[in-house]
C-alpha cells in the first residue's frame, strides 16, 4: 500500500511539475493584496544546445501568428507550436543560434541567426523557401516588411533590403559610426517604416532614416547623451501616428515628430519631449500611457503625449525585458529568474513568478495569453485573468 501511494505521489508530481514554478506574493503589510492574475496553461521544453556549453542563454522572443507560436533557440533550432496547447508542429535547424525575433508575411515566416544567415520558411511545413547568406554578422532584431521588400539589420550596423519572394538583394548600406568612443552591448535595433522611409538606430547613438527604394540617406539624429560608455540605440523604435519613440542605452528617451511624406520626409524630426531614461529594449503603449523598461532596472509609465511620469517602480534584480501590457496588467521579465505582473494604474507589483534561469528575451501577449521563453529552455503560456 505504501509503495502504491508513493507511485501515485510521483505520478502527480511529474504531471504537475512544469506548472509548479514558485509564485511569490510581493505585496505585504497593510497594502492591497492581489489575486493571482494568471492561470498556467502549458509549458513546452525547447531543445538544449551543446552539452558542454558554459551557460545556456535564450535570447529569442516568441511571436504568435495565425494561432501558431514561433520561437528560436540557442540550439540552432527554430520552432513552430500550437498556441493553444504548446504541441510542436515542426522545427527547422539553422546554421547558427537563433536569437532573433521572427517576422511574417502571408504564408512565410522570416528570421535570422548568429551566423548572419536570414531564412524564409513555409509557415505550415517549415520547409525552406529561400535564404540570404551574406548579412555578415548576427541578426537579432525583427525585420520590417512593406509590399514586396523585407528590410533587416545586423549587429555590425548593416541595413539590407531583400526581395520578399526570392531573397535577392535590392540594396545594402553600412552605417559609418560617428564616434568610436566607449563600448557597445550585444543587441541592435530593428528597422521601422514610415511613409517611404526606413528608420533604424545604431551603436553610436544615431537614429537615421533612409529611403525605402534605394537606401538613400534622409536624416540623422544623435540620441546619445554626452560621452557615456554605452551610446547604443539598440531598441527597435516605436511609431504611433506621426510620433516616434526611441531611446539610447545610457542616453535619453525621446518622442519625435515625424514629417509626413507630402511635406518632406528628409526633415530631421522635431523633439516633442525628452526624459532622462535609458533603455535598450522595446516599448508598450496602452491608451495614453507609454511603458518603458529602463536600463536602470526601473519600469516607467509615462504620458505618451507629454512624457510626464505617471509612476515608476524598481522591478526585481537584473536587467528587464520589454514590457507587454493587457488591460490592468504589465508583464515584464528579468534576467534574474522572475517574471513580474504589475498594476498599470499605480505600478504596484501584483505578483512575481519564478522563471528557470531567468529570461533574456521579451514576453509577448496574444489575446488573453502571455508567452515567454526562459533560459532553462521552457516556453511558458499563461492566461491573464482579472
Contacts of 325 (CB under 8 A, 6+ apart): 284, 285, 286, 291, 331, 344, 365
Query: What b/e readout covers 210-246, taking b as 16+ CB neighbours within 10 angstroms?
Result: bebeebeebbebbbbeeebebbbbbbbbbbeeebbbb
pLDDT at 250: 77
Output the CA torsion 7→13→18→20 (10° steps).
180
Give the pLDDT of the chain (386 residues) as one tens digit per residue.
Answer: 445 554 444 444 444 444 444 444 444 445 666 778 899 999 999 876 555 454 568 889 999 999 999 999 999 999 999 999 999 999 999 999 999 999 999 999 999 999 999 999 999 999 999 999 999 999 999 999 999 999 999 988 899 999 999 999 999 999 887 555 544 556 688 999 999 999 999 988 889 999 999 999 999 998 876 555 556 788 899 999 999 999 988 778 999 999 876 656 678 899 999 999 989 888 999 999 999 999 899 999 999 999 999 999 999 888 899 999 999 999 999 998 899 999 999 999 999 998 888 899 999 999 999 999 998 899 999 999 87
Question: What pLDDT, on the 0 to 100 scale, is given for residue 10?
Answer: 41
pTM for the model: 0.88
**Residues 157 and 205: beta-carbon distance below 8 Å:** no
State whether residue 300 is helix, strand or coil.
strand
What was the pLDDT predicted at 186?
A: 62
pLDDT at 259: 85
Burial of residue 54, with CB atoms counted within 10 A of its CB: 0-12 exposed, 13-18 middle, 19 or more buried: exposed
> Are 380 and 331 spatial neighbours (Cβ–Cβ below 8 Å)?
no
What is the maximum span of the chain, computed from C-alpha positions, in angstroms?
83
Q: What is d(CA 170, CA 250) in angstroms, rounded to the nearest whole number? A: 34
3-state class of 6 per DSSP? Answer: helix
Distance separating alpha carbons of residues 178 and 248, to the nearest angstrom: 15
Q: What is the pLDDT of residue 45?
A: 92
Helix (H) or strand (E) holding 199, with range, is: strand 197-201
Residue 191, phi-psi category: left (phi > 0), alpha (psi -120 to 50), beta (remainder): beta
Give the Cα separation of 166 and 169 in Å (integer): 9
pLDDT of residue 25: 47
Q: DSSP string of 129-194? A: EEEE----S---SPPEEETTEEEEE-TTSEEEEEETTT--EEEEEEPPPS---SB--S--PPPEEE
What pLDDT is recorded for position 235?
86
pLDDT score of 125: 97
Q: Does domain 60-174 have CATH number 2.60.40.650?
A: no
In this structure, the chain runs to a length of 386
Amino acid at each position: 500500500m505504501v509503495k502504491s501511494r508513493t507511485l501515485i505521489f510521483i505520478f502527480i508530481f511529474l504531471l504537475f511539475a512544469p506548472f509548479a514554478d514558485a509564485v511569490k506574493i510581493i505585496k505585504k503589510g497593510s497594502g492591497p493584496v492581489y489575486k493571482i492574475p494568471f492561470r498556467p496553461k502549458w509549458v513546452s521544453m525547447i531543445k538544449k544546445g551543446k552539452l558542454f556549453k558554459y551557460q545556456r542563454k535564450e535570447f529569442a522572443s516568441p511571436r504568435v501568428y495565425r494561432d501558431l507560436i514561433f520561437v528560436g533557440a540557442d540550439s540552432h533550432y527554430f520552432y513552430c507550436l500550437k498556441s493553444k496547447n504548446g504541441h510542436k508542429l515542426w522545427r527547422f535547424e539553422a546554421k547558427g543560434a537563433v536569437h532573433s525575433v521572427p517576422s511574417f508575411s502571408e504564408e512565410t515566416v522570416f528570421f535570422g541567426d548568429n551566423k548572419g544567415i536570414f531564412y524564409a520558411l513555409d509557415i505550415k511545413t517549415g520547409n525552406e523557401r529561400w535564404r540570404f547568406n551574406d548579412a555578415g554578422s548576427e541578426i537579432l532584431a525583427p525585420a520590417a516588411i512593406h509590399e514586396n521588400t523585407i528590410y533587416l539589420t545586423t549587429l555590425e550596423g548593416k541595413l539590407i533590403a531583400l526581395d520578399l519572394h526570392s531573397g535577392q538583394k535590392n540594396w545594402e548600406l553600412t552605417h559609418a559610426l560617428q564616434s568610436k568612443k566607449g563600448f557597445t552591448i550585444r543587441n541592435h535595433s530593428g528597422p521601422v517604416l514610415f511613409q517611404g522611409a526606413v528608420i533604424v538606430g545604431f551603436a553610436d547613438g544615431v537614429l537615421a532614416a533612409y529611403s525605402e527604394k534605394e537606401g538613400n540617406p534622409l536624416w540623422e539624429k544623435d540620441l546619445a547623451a554626452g560621452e557615456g560608455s554605452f551610446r547604443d540605440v539598440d531598441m527597435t523604435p516605436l511609431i504611433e501616428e506621426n510620433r516616434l519613440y526611441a531611446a539610447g542605452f545610457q542616453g535619453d528617451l525621446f518622442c519625435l515628430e515625424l514629417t509626413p511624406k507630402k511635406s518632406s520626409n528628409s526633415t530631421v524630426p522635431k523633439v516633442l519631449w525628452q526624459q532622462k531614461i535609458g533603455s535598450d529594449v522595446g516599448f508598450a503603449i496602452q491608451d495614453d500611457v507609454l511603458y518603458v523598461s529602463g536600463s536602470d532596472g526601473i519600469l516607467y509609465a509615462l504620458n505618451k503625449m507629454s512624457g510626464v511620469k505617471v509612476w515608476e517602480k524598481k522591478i526585481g534584480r537584473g536587467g528587464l525585458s520589454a514590457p507587454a501590457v493587457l488591460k490592468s496588467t504589465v508583464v515584464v521579465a528579468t534576467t534574474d529568474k522572475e517574471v513580474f505582473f504589475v498594476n498599470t494604474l499605480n505600478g504596484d507589483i501584483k505578483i512575481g513568478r519564478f522563471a528557470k534561469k531567468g529570461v533574456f528575451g521579451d514576453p509577448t501577449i496574444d489575446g488573453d495569453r502571455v508567452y515567454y521563453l526562459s533560459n532553462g529552455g521552457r516556453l511558458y503560456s499563461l492566461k491573464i485573468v482579472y
